[in-house]
Amino acid sequence: MSESLFSFYRSTIAEHQGWVADVVFDSQQELIWAAGQKGTVASYYSTGLNIYTKFVANSDITQILTVDPGVLTLSAERLNLHSRMGQRQLTVTSPNMKEMCCMSASQTKPEVLLGGHTKTMTKYDLTQNKITAEIMVPDLGCVLKKKKVPTATLR
């Protein structure tokens, strides 16, 4: 493991005052995002992994995801959207959003599918800013169903 990568993990853990819940590459900018268990989200840039932004999203973050309008943070009972500078844009809650632990963005539509340890998955539309569907799943504990997308072959 390179020294800068080790330093990144060591400093991120110390800064977040808890273990790192998720690390993702930004889909729009040249940033790496890290979310701490206690609700801190930070972005890093360049080869030195310098802090670009840092903000408190919500406690007990389980996953982060970057989308066109910003950064989504998921906790057990809510979904938050923040701008890349840290300003909260929206908060989504629902009676069916309990024990949420993962999300997946659609490749073709501005939608996010949220799943957890419940009998429902929630579909949220980022353009309409509303929950568009709550899908019943047969087994409790189904985290997320993902359709396999065929890969393209380069010639």
Q: From first to last of its 155 residues, what are the pLDDT tens digits of the chain?
A: 455 555 555 555 455 446 788 889 998 899 999 988 778 898 988 887 888 998 988 778 889 999 988 999 999 899 999 999 999 999 999 888 888 888 988 888 889 988 888 888 899 999 999 999 998 887 765 555 555 544 443 43
Q: Where are the alpha helices (DSSP H) in the chain?
A: 3-16
Q: What's phi and psi for 11, nearest 5 deg?
A: -70, -35
Cβ atoms 110, 126 nearer than 8 A: yes
| CA nearest to 53, candidates 40, 63, 36 | 40
Question: Tokens for 10?
Answer: 């060591």
The residues near 142 (Cβ < 8 Å, ≥ 6 apart) are 115, 119, 121
Q: What is the pLDDT of residue 155?
A: 38
Q: What is the pLDDT of residue 152?
A: 43
pTM: 0.78
- As a whole number of angstroms, the distance between CA 112 and CA 107 comes to 10
Q: What is the pLDDT of residue 143?
A: 54
Q: What is the pLDDT of residue 142?
A: 54
Q: Which helix (H) or strand (E) holds 42?
A: strand 40-45
